[in-house]
Amino acid sequence: MADLSVHGLSLILKDDLPIGATVKVEWGESAHDGKLIYCKPHGREYIAGLKVEDPVYEITRHIPH
């Protein structure tokens, strides 16, 4: 995961995924399903934007400090 906001997540991927794909992100005890809204090359990887329905800020409760 590269970044998170109230509306979604920014992901770093090894492969290109199609826009509109359903993606599940699991981090610790949290899991979020969403739709890919963009996926563009970033060096040897891809940066992708995932729009999720659940409040993403909930994921921060499970991030180790």
**Boundaries of domain holding 38:** 3-62
Rounded to two decimals, the pTM is: 0.71
Task: Give the percent of the chain with pLDDT over 70.
Answer: 71
Q: 9 - beta bridge partners?
A: 4, 50
Share in percent of the chain as helix, strand, coil (round to 5): 10, 55, 35
Q: What are phi and psi of 55, to 5 degrees?
A: -65, 115
Q: Total domain count for the chain?
A: 1
pLDDT at 60 over 80: no
pLDDT at 64 over 50: no
